[in-house]
């Protein structure tokens, strides 16, 4: 998620697990464990396919971690990032260590390098991190990857919330880094992220002045607000009073945001990403479970009706316009991929790898999530990590974009499974 803007080819309590004994999954079990210091138990990967997927996803981090800054490239080989991407990067590095993919000494090197950069991170006059940075120099950049020395790109409350989720994981799971993380965050004027109970971002006008705009729509808004709540920032209206209405889509009931592109300037994407992150990291509460059940049901129903494997998401793609929000519903229309400005690309519908892994981790016994995972398991490169997905049009083949969010969320999903369906924010060793 990169606020409500597009850039070039880049970024750009839950259901309980049960024993899965489908024919595909009852394979040779390969226990994988690592000895950790402290009291945290060592999570174990038990399925062969999970081990293969974890090793493949970690290759992205081996290739794209920058030793000068500790940042991870947003897209393979592209030295640029948003704060959303770095939130994902922290989660991926945490998961890689917990799953035994990276030794303790290397993990500490990666974390210490990142924290050193954050301690000296250039900040705009707003005292909030800029929307984008170089991953090699940590200098401020614009969303089109040009220099932004004065930091006039503004900030995204949604991106900051994901980044703060990553920092919360470091603070909570690794006490040796707690004080450094808290000192870093104390440099930032976080109160600007919440106004009158709503999430607010900063957007530059034509003269380079920052305008305050409400940010977030149903799903993304609540995921972000719950993340900020971990830092004692409560966006009460975003959490408890979003302007929603009930609608019926293909015979299934949903809550959708009444704020859409026409009446608010921002689209009301109904897509998987925020709900899956919510489940993996925070744990679904009872109020959101009907929405989650409907999301899975309608995607399975479309597959049963059309034969098209359906797992929508926001994702990088390997061709113009390079980033799309593919949603079940947005701005009054169904199954339409659009840019953040609302331009539609119906010929570029895709199945999302990270959505497939997320759904299967959260609801592993469901036949449709198993089918999604079967397909996604194969969408990997030899040395770069996982592809973002595959196009629904078989003539287009795989969506060969390779990015940090896909590979980080794969690792998060595998860690969630290894922790016996425990949301990642919880430190079970305490």
Does residue 153 sit within a domain?
Answer: yes
Cα–Cα distance, 297 to 343 (Å, whole number): 27
Give the range of the structural domain holding residue 194, as residue numbers without chain letter. 29-418
**Residue 54 region by backbone torsions, left for phi larger than 0, else alpha for psi between -120 and 50, else beta:** alpha
What six digits make up the tokens of 87? 């939130």
Cα–Cα distance, 215 to 5 (Å, whole number): 12
- Please, which residues have CB within 8 angstroms of residue 251's CB and are 6 or more apart in sequence? none
Tell me, what's the pLDDT at 42?
Answer: 72
DSSP track, 368-385: HHHHHHHHHTT-B-SSS-
Does residue 23 sit within a domain?
Answer: no
Tell me which residue of 240, 214, 216 sits closest to 162, measured CA to CA.
Answer: 216
CB 84 within 8 A of CB 277: no
Tell me, what's the pLDDT at 209?
Answer: 87
Tell me, what's the pLDDT at 44?
Answer: 80
Does residue 200 sit within a domain?
Answer: yes
What six digits make up the tokens of 35? 């000895």
The sign one gets for the Cα dihedral 365, 371, 374, 375 is: negative
Residues in the chain: 430
Does residue 234 sit within a domain?
Answer: yes
Q: What is the CATH number of the domain that holds 236?
A: 1.50.10.140
Helix, strand or coil for residue 336? Answer: strand
Which residues, in sequence order, are bridge partners of residue 194?
Answer: 199
Does residue 430 sit within a domain?
Answer: no
Tell me, what's the pLDDT at 308?
Answer: 98
Does residue 427 sit within a domain?
Answer: no
Tell me, what's the pLDDT at 45?
Answer: 87
Cα–Cα distance, 291 to 272 (Å, whole number): 11
Domains contained in the chain, number: 1
Does residue 3 sit within a domain?
Answer: no
Strands 29-32 and 45-47: antiparallel
Which residues, in sequence order, are bridge partners of residue 351?
Answer: 390
pLDDT (tens place) for every residue of the chain, 430 residues total = 544 333 333 333 322 232 222 222 232 222 333 333 333 447 888 889 999 999 999 999 999 999 999 999 999 999 999 999 999 999 999 999 999 999 999 999 999 999 999 999 999 999 999 999 999 999 999 999 999 999 999 999 999 999 999 999 999 999 999 999 999 999 999 999 999 999 999 999 888 889 999 999 999 999 999 999 999 999 999 999 999 999 999 999 999 999 999 999 999 999 999 999 999 999 999 999 999 999 999 999 999 999 999 999 999 999 999 999 999 999 999 999 999 999 999 999 999 999 999 999 999 999 999 999 999 999 999 899 999 999 999 999 999 999 999 999 999 999 999 999 999 999 876 4
Does residue 60 sit within a domain?
Answer: yes
CB 44 within 8 A of CB 417: no
**Distances in whole angstroms, Cα of residue 179 to Cα of each of 83, 92, 116, 176, 427:** 21, 22, 13, 8, 17
């Amino acid at each position: 998620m990169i606020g409500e803007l597009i850039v070039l080819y880049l970024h750009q309590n839950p259901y309980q697990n049960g024993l899965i004994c489908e024919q595909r999954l009852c394979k040779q079990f390969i226990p994988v464990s690592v000895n950790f210091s402290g009291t945290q138990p060592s999570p174990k990967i038990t399925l062969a396919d999970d081990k293969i997927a974890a090793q493949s996803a970690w290759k992205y981090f081996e290739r794209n971690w920058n030793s000068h800054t500790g940042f991870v490239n947003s897209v393979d080989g592209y030295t640029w990032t948003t704060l959303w991407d770095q939130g994902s990067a922290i989660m991926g590095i945490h998961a890689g260590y917990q799953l035994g993919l990276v030794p303790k000494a290397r993990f500490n090197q990666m974390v210490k390098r990142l924290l050193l950069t954050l301690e000296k991170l250039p900040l705009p006059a707003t005292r909030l991190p800029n929307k984008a940075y170089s991953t090699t120099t940590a200098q401020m950049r614009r969303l089109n990857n040009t220099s932004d020395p004065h930091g006039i790109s503004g900030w995204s409350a949604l991106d900051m919330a994901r980044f703060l989720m990553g920092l919360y994981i470091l603070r909570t799971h690794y006490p040796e880094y707690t004080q450094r993380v808290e000192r870093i965050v104390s440099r930032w004027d976080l109160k600007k992220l919440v106004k009158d109970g709503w999430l607010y971002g900063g957007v530059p006008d034509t003269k380079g002045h920052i305008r305050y705009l409400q940010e977030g729509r149903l799903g993304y808004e609540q995921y972000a607000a719950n993340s900020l709540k971990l830092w004692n920032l409560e966006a009460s209206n975003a959490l408890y009073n979003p302007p929603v209405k009930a609608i019926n889509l293909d015979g299934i009931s949903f809550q959708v945001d009444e704020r859409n592109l026409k009446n608010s300037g921002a689209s009301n994407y109904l897509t998987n990403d925020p709900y899956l992150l919510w489940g993996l990291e925070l744990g679904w509460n009872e109020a959101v479970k009907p929405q989650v059940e409907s999301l899975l049901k309608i995607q399975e129903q479309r597959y049963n009706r059309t034969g098209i494997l359906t797992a929508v998401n926001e994702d990088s793609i390997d061709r113009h316009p390079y980033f799309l929000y593919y949603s079940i519903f947005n701005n009054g229309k169904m199954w339409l991929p659009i840019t953040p400005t609302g331009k539609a690309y119906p010929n570029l519908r895709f199945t999302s790898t990270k959505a497939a892994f997320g759904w299967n981790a959260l609801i592993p016994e469901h036949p449709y999530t198993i089918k999604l995972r079967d397909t996604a398991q194969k969408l990997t490169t030899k040395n770069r990590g996982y592809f973002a997905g595959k196009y629904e049009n078989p003539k287009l083949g795989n969506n060969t974009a390779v990015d940090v969010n896909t590979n980080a969320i794969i690792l998060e999903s595998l860690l969630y499974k290894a922790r016996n369906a425990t949301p990642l924010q919880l430190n079970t060793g305490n």
